Amino acid sequence: MTDWPPQSSFTIGLAGKCPRCGKGDLFRAFLTVRDGCAVCGLDLRGHDAGDGPAVFVILGLGALIVPLVLWVEFSYEPPLWLHAVIWIPVILVATLVPLRIIKGVLVAQQYKHRSTTGDPDPT
């Protein structure tokens, strides 16, 4: 068995890499976790963040965007179509960018704290 150096969950999440070796890709699609790491062979089937990333993004983004929308509405009173033109792209980008990063961090945390059944001996 190879001795794998400890990886930072935040670095792994940002890079989208395997939580054990830090080299193989974690995702096979935008938000789909691979079945296994091509480099170290880690079984990733039991590593899934579920709805956690979506909850963090929804709550965080809501706390930031809603006050901005209200400020724009009460300060400038733009028509509804302009709100749609402004806020739909902002919300899409602000949702999709952190979603993958947060999912990667949560999967790395699962691996680090051995809270999945995918790999019986993660070290």
**Would 122 be classed as within a structural domain?**
no
**Would 121 be classed as within a structural domain?**
no
Q: What is the mean pLDDT of residues 33-39?
A: 93
**Would 22 be classed as within a structural domain?**
yes
CA dist 110 → 19, 66, 80, 122 (Å) = 9, 32, 43, 11
Instruction: Write out pLDDT tens, residues 38-94.
Output: 999 999 988 888 899 999 999 999 999 999 999 999 999 999 999 999 999 999 999
Q: Which H helix or E strand runs over 65?
A: helix 52-76
Counted domains in the chain: 1
Can you tell me whether residue 3 is helix, strand or coil?
A: coil
**Would 118 be classed as within a structural domain?**
no
Domain coverage including residue 22: 9-112
Instruction: Write out pLDDT tens, residues 102-117.
Output: 999 999 999 988 865 5
Q: Give CA–CA dist 28/89, Å, rounded.
A: 25
**Would 84 be classed as within a structural domain?**
yes
